[in-house]
């Protein structure tokens, strides 16, 4: 029996592999085997593994200033906030370290606004199957079955509606409702897309009822869906936006953005030791400046079309159920609960492995680096065919 990981608190079943090096689309293990990585740190490594842009930003910033304290301004904090304001159209930015932390901040900001302008309204409506993070409050906000029980008692103030069912939102709104929190593409639920019509109706309904719209773009933001932000696909303007995963390109960084009218924290209401620290902000600035360029985003859309077309061909040839997604956040639905077996077979392929994710037993999720090459997409598709052939034979 292997003792790999016996000093770690067990949180998940990991394959018996230790990864030691990554470059671009490729991840290498301790045995020297290469894997084409279509997980990329969970849709995190926007530019692939260890891109020069990040290593150079880290090196330069670490030589200059690591951490003056969150009580002081620092240059990367200011520059990243300005870059996010410029590309998003939002007015104000708070920097943090994880998606859950940014989402907690979004709920705090909405409640603060509710206490000032909506007579103490504080409830947040979120969606069944949604995912907003793993703090206690964000587990309450998430719609994962069972998550209301494992750490009970849970923070209250979160109601649930059904995605793409505007009636269910209308029914959930009470005088205490301050915000609706939505993922335009539910990533962890298995790449489930909100309908454009539903999102437009949701924006109109929330405006009419003076309820804020919080867009959790932790997974979909910063180029992942082929636009700088998924809300641009849907052509709506949320009141509050959260970003994390791709924003840091592999380092822990998140952001909470809001309109000027919501800039209502009092000094001391919100903060964090590492919030806005220059080392991570310098990386975020490099990522935003690279990924949110129109030419870069056009390339993401081209690779997404290529990947989608290739997956559709695989669906036809292997008798699968279908393929879906937005930009480079895509999923393939299998007719059986073989997705974990396909993931294992793909990683075990020789001489080159393929790394995929199975968010559901019948679903494969692909979230490659945004700068993956056309050849690497083709190679990934060929490896996926081989893994499917082995498992579904
Ligand atoms: C990953 C994710 C989170 C949580 O982010 P962490 O950095 O893990 O806290 C929240 N919302 C969405 C939509 C996510 O995909």
Segment 327-379, tens digit of pLDDT: 999 999 999 999 999 999 999 999 999 999 999 999 999 999 999 999 999 99
Closest to 218 measured CA to CA, from 286, 275, 133, 160: 133
95 lines ligand 1 (CB under 6 A): no
What single-letter DSSP state applies at residue 260? G
* Burial zone of 209 (CB within 10 Å; 0-12 exposed, 13-18 middle, 19+ buried): middle
Report phi then psi at 289, rounded to 5: -65, -30
Q: Which of 39, 99, 357 to mutate to test the pocket of ligand 1 (most atoms within 8 A of CB)?
A: 99
Per residue in 12-24, pLDDT (tens digit) is 989 999 999 999 9
75-88 helix and 278-291 helix, angle to the nearest 10 degrees? 30
Sign of the alpha-carbon dihedral angle for 214, 117, 272, 159: negative
* Banded model confidence at residue 393, pLDDT cuts 50, 70, 90: confident
Greatest CA span in the chain, whole angstroms?
A: 63
Closest to 160 measured CA to CA, from 138, 148, 142: 142
- What does each C-alpha distance from 247 to 80, 217, 230, 242, 365 come to in angstroms? 10, 10, 14, 10, 20
391 CA → ligand 1 middle, Å: 31
Torsion from C-alpha of 71, 75, 76, 77, nearest 10 degrees: 40
**pLDDT for residue 3:** 81
217 CA → ligand 1 middle, Å: 9
372 CA → ligand 1 middle, Å: 23
374-392 helix and 294-318 helix, angle to the nearest 10 degrees? 20
Q: Which of 190, 192, 244, 367 to mutate to test the pocket of ligand 1 (most atoms within 8 A of CB)?
A: 244
Q: Which residues of 304-323 are buried (b: 16+ CB within 10 A; e: fewer)?
A: beebbebbeebbeebebeeb
Helix (H, G, I), strand (E, B), or coil: what is residue 3? Answer: coil
pTM value surpassing 0.95: yes
Question: Ligand 1 atom closest to Cα of 252?
Answer: 7
Model confidence at 1: pLDDT above 80: no
Write down the residue that tokens 């932790």 correspond to: 218
98 lines ligand 1 (CB under 6 A): yes
Task: Report the pLDDT averaged over residues 283-296.
Answer: 98
* Banded model confidence at residue 51, pLDDT cuts 50, 70, 90: very high
Model confidence at 204: pLDDT above 80: yes
Model confidence at 247: pLDDT above 70: yes
Q: Which of 40, 103, 133, 242 to mutate to test the pocket of ligand 1 (most atoms within 8 A of CB)?
A: 133
CB atoms within 10 A of CB 237: 16
- What does each C-alpha distance from 110 to 206, 213, 361, 389 come to in angstroms? 13, 9, 36, 49
217 lines ligand 1 (CB under 6 A): no
Tokens read off for 369: 């680096």
Q: Which of 245, 272, 280, 359 to mutate to test the pocket of ligand 1 (most atoms within 8 A of CB)?
A: 245
227 lines ligand 1 (CB under 6 A): no
319 CA → ligand 1 middle, Å: 32
290 lines ligand 1 (CB under 6 A): no
* Burial zone of 147 (CB within 10 Å; 0-12 exposed, 13-18 middle, 19+ buried): middle
* Banded model confidence at residue 228, pLDDT cuts 50, 70, 90: very high
Beta strands in the chain (DSSP E): 19-23, 26-29, 34-37, 92-96, 123-127, 158-161, 177-182, 185-186, 192-193, 212-216, 240-243, 254-258, 322-326, 329-333, 352-355, 357-360, 363-366
Q: How far apart are CA 252 and CA 244, in angstroms?
A: 8
100 lines ligand 1 (CB under 6 A): yes
46 CA → ligand 1 middle, Å: 15
H helices within 1-74, ranges in order?
A: 40-43, 52-64
């Amino acid at each position: 029996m292997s003792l790999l990981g016996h000093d770690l608190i067990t949180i998940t079943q990991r394959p018996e592999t230790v990864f030691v090096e990554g470059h671009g689309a490729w991840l290498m293990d301790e045995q020297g085997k290469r894997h084409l990585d279509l997980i990329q740190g969970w849709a995190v490594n926007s530019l692939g593994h260890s891109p020069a842009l990040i290593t150079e930003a880290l090196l330069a910033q670490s030589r200059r200033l690591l951490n003056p304290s969150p009580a002081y301004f620092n240059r990367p904090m200011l520059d990243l906030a300005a870059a996010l304001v410029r590309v998003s159209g939002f007015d104000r930015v708070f920097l943090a370290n994880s998606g859950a932390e940014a989402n907690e901040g979004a709920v705090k900001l909405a409640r603060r606004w509710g206490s000032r302008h909506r007579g103490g309204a504080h409830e947040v409506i979120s969606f069944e199957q949604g995912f907003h993070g793993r703090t206690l409050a964000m587990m309450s906000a998430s719609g994962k079955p069972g998550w209301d029980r494992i750490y009970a008692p849970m923070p209250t103030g979160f109601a649930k509606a059904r995605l793409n069912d505007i009636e269910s939102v209308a029914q959930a709104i009470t005088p205490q409702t301050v915000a609706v929190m939505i993922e335009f593409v539910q990533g962890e639920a298995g790449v489930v897309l909100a309908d454009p019509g539903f999102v437009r109706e949701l924006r109109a309904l929330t405006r009419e009822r003076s309820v804020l719209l919080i867009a959790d773009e932790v997974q979909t933001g910063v180029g992942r869906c082929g636009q700088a932000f998924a809300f641009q696909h849907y052509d709506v303007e949320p009141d509050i936006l959260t970003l994390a995963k791709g924003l840091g390109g592999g380092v822990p960084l998140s952001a909470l953005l809001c309109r000027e009218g919501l800039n209502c924290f009092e000094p001391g209401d919100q903060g964090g030791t590492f919030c806005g620290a220059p080392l991570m902000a310098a990386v975020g600035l490099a990522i935003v400046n690279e990924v949110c360029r129109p030419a870069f985003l056009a390339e993401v859309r081209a690779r997404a079309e290529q990947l989608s077309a290739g997956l559709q061909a695989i669906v036809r040839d292997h008798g699968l159920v279908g393929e879906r997604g937005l930009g480079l956040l895509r999923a393939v639905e299998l007719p059986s609960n073989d997705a974990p077996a396909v993931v294992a077979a793909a990683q075990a392929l020789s001489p080159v492995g393929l790394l995929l994710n199975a968010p559901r037993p019948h679903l494969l999720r692909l979230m490659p680096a945004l700068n993956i090459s056309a050849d690497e997409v083709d190679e990934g598709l060929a490896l996926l065919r081989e893994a499917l052939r082995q498992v579904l034979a």
